[in-house]
Amino acid sequence: MKEKEYFLGIDIGTFASRGMLIDETFQVVADASVPHTMENPRPGWFEQDAMDIWWHDFCLLSHMLIEQSGVMPSRIACVGASALGTDCLPVDECCTPLRPAILYGIDARAEKEAEWLTSYYGKERVQALFGHPICSGDTATKILWLKNHEPEVYARTYKFLTGSSFLAARLTGNYVIDQFLAKGSFRPLYRTDGQINEEECSLYCRPDQIAETALSTAVIGTVTRKAASESGLLEGTPVIAGTGDSTAEAISAGLTEAGTVFFQYGSSMYYYYCTDKLISSYTSPNGNGSLNGGKIFTVPGTFCLGDGTNAAGTLTRWVRDLFYQKELAEQNLGGENAYSVMAREAASLSPGCDGLLMLPYIYGERSPLQDPKASGMLFGLKGSHTRAHINRAALEAVGFYTYQHLLLFEELGSRPFRLITAGGGTRNETWMQIIADMAGMEVHIPEPFQCSAYGDAMLAAVGAGRLSGFSGLSRALPVGKILRPDMANHAFYKKRYPLFRDLYLDNRNKMYCLYDEKPGK
């Protein structure tokens, strides 16, 4: 009789790593996580040590999951890993990092390189090569920064990797990156078909200094003897290419077919919208903001739009820390979670917060405004308003710019038919009901275990042939919880939305003045 098979998934996140072992019925048999830190050596610089954090966490979690489950390593049929964003990590011939990894879009050290490239190419050529205005999320700018500022490191670099490709290389000795990450954040180093763009590479690095591409589910090698001794896995265990953490989480929640939009409510709100055609960059003539151009998605035959806001959970955290200090102190002494109190208070109020409206741009804004100087606002504030009103107004503010993105998709003639969610914000059912009411759509909330690590393990099951591609993966996922919209509330929010939009449009120049004013001038 054939032994039962298991699939291992490990995700390295910004502040923590998590691993899961699932069986061949896709049930979780072991789940473990470990915290870690992120370095901020200078303003705008964010780094992590790839060996001390990424590889250390992977190996630690692998040992923990094997011990916790009691599963023999020989019964692990395939391994998948994901990692935070798209980072820039130079390594030598032994896959030893030459410096700390420069993290994804939060690291803004390459602003001058982005400005120079925009001038060098011109805006039209930038659009053709990058698919959007050059930004801090483009890994090529960070490679160029290393070339300009750390020439000794640059000269010694054998490969420029990202988090998931580093883990795959440490496991197998092969340098491979998920096509989705390559064709998204590594442009213009790769062509749209996933091949290395040798003509454009020369400005940044040699073509042989970047990894080959593969589908995220493709088996790109097996665990080496050295990696086996460090991770506790069996030598020869198949390893897939893996992908980014947001992609793995989106897939774990059900982003497997065109027409589905995924909103992740964490510290920020990140979205992926899976489409059946490539969509170009778009600016709304109705003042609803803009969207960066689409790219080929991890699911074969599909494309996606994707971007993030600067605030979601950080906005609710700001409200908590400012207005719920007593509840937070009680929580720290073993009392009720402060966010639970906030959710209950928000649910006690009617939509519209008795005339209070909030703009959520307390940290500037990415999508859909692309305006780092945007600022927050409380509009309609009255003496009768309480902390509960401000609390609910923050939840509605995030709901409004969720709705704003849906309007942009609609303007493109491509409104989604399914809305799925993930992230810590989904634990607040009041918030998720606001999202459903704003959108006028059902909101699908996954089970708590459907996270990046679970997605990695499911992708490994596809790679091992246990699941028949992404259609099989989709059928195997749990149903989760479904919240249905109150259409009367939807009509109210739809009528209120133009005020939300216009508060920013009418006041953005005044927001900019706040940056220019200096005392004594």
Examine the domain organization and report whether 57 and 11 are in the same domain: yes
Examine the domain organization and report whether 208 and 298 are in the same domain: no
What pLDDT was estimated at residue 40? 92
369, part of any domain: no
What pLDDT was estimated at residue 332? 94
7 phi and psi angles, rounded to 5 deg? -130, 130
Q: Give 33's strand partners.
A: 18
pLDDT tens, residue by residue, 454-473: 999 999 999 999 999 999 99
Which residues in 122-135 are b (16+ Cβ under 10 Å) and which e? Answer: eeeebbebbbbebb
CA 396 to CA 363: how far, in whole Å? 17
What pLDDT was estimated at residue 517? 59
Cβ pair 217, 208 in contact under 8 A = no
CA 86 to CA 335: how far, in whole Å? 38
205, part of any domain: yes
180, part of any domain: yes
Which has the minimum average pLDDT: 59-68, 292-301, 425-434?
A: 292-301
Closest listed residue to residue 108, CA positions, set 368, 364, 297, 359: 364
pLDDT tens, residue by residue, 352-369: 999 999 999 998 888 999
Closest listed residue to residue 310, CA positions, set 268, 270, 370, 271: 268
pLDDT tens, residue by residue, 167-197: 999 999 999 999 989 988 899 999 877 889 9
Examine the domain organization and report whether 207 and 281 are in the same domain: no
Residue 159: pLDDT over 60: yes
Q: Give 305's strand partners.
A: 273
**Domain limit, last residue, from 203, 229, 247:** 247
By three-state DSSP, how is residue 282 classified? strand
Q: What is the pTM (predicted TM-score) of this model?
A: 0.86
Examine the domain organization and report whether 171 and 268 are in the same domain: no
Residue 512: pLDDT over 90: no
What pLDDT was estimated at residue 1? 63
The single-letter code of the amino acid at 266 is: G
Q: Give 364's strand partners.
A: 362
- State the DSSP H helix or E strand holding residue 456, giving kind and residue range, or none if neither: helix 452-463
Examine the domain organization and report whether 91 and 154 are in the same domain: yes
CA 44 to CA 49: how far, in whole Å? 17
Q: How far is CA 75 from CA 59, 82, 173, 457, 468, in A?
A: 17, 21, 22, 14, 20
415 phi and psi angles, rounded to 5 deg? -70, 135
What pLDDT was estimated at residue 335? 96
Q: How far is CA 71 from CA 22, 30, 78, 139, in A?
A: 11, 10, 13, 38
Which has the minimum average pLDDT: 101-110, 409-418, 435-444?
A: 101-110
CA 90 to CA 166: how far, in whole Å? 10
Starting at the edge strand that comes first in sequence, how are the strands of the sheet with 418-422 ordered? Answer: 295-296, 303-308, 269-275, 260-265, 418-422, 443-445, 481-483
CA 302 to CA 420: how far, in whole Å? 17
325, part of any domain: no
40, part of any domain: yes
What is the helix, strand, coil percentage profile of the chain, to 5? 40, 20, 35
Examine the domain organization and report whether 99 and 141 are in the same domain: yes
Q: Other C-beta atoms within 10 Å of 202: how many?
A: 10
442, part of any domain: yes
Which residues in 41-72 are b (16+ Cβ under 10 Å) and which e? Answer: eeeeebbbbbbebbbbbbbbbbbbbbeebebe
What pLDDT was estimated at residue 194? 80
pLDDT tens, residue by residue, 304-315: 998 888 889 999
Examine the domain organization and report whether 102 and 226 are in the same domain: yes
Residue 209: pLDDT over 80: yes
CA 340 to CA 323: how far, in whole Å? 14
Q: How far is CA 228 from CA 74, 126, 173, 382, 492, in A?
A: 11, 43, 12, 63, 58
Residue 518: pLDDT over 80: no
351, part of any domain: no
**Domain limit, last residue, from 247, 262, 292:** 247
Residue 262's domain comprises: 254-311+406-483
> Which one is predicted more confidently, 81 or 448?
81
- Who's near 181: CB < 8 A, 6+ residues apart? 86, 162, 164, 165, 243, 244, 247
What pLDDT was estimated at residue 520? 62
What pLDDT was estimated at residue 362? 92
Q: Other C-beta atoms within 10 Å of 22: how many?
A: 26
Prior bond to 446 cis, omega within 30? Answer: no
Residue 516: pLDDT over 70: no
384, part of any domain: no
Which has the minimum average pLDDT: 135-139, 285-289, 493-497, 504-508?
A: 135-139
pLDDT, mean of residues 76-101? 96
Examine the domain organization and report whether 187 and 281 are in the same domain: no
What pLDDT was estimated at residue 192? 77
**Domain limit, last residue, from 218, 247, 276:** 247
Examine the domain organization and report whether 161 and 115 are in the same domain: yes
Cβ pair 271, 308 in contact under 8 A = yes
Which band of pLDDT confidence, cut at 50, 70 and 90, is reported for residue 233?
A: very high
Quick one: what percent of the chain has pLDDT higher than 90?
A: 83
Domain count, the chain: 2
Examine the domain organization and report whether 206 and 164 are in the same domain: yes
Distance of CA 242 to the CA centre of its chain: 15
Tell me the pLDDT of the chain averaged across its residues: 94
Quick one: what percent of the chain has pLDDT higher than 70?
A: 98
- CATH code: domain of residue 87: 3.30.420.40
CA 455 to CA 487: how far, in whole Å? 33
Which band of pLDDT confidence, cut at 50, 70 and 90, is reported for residue 513?
A: confident
Examine the domain organization and report whether 137 and 275 are in the same domain: no
Examine the domain organization and report whether 203 and 290 are in the same domain: no
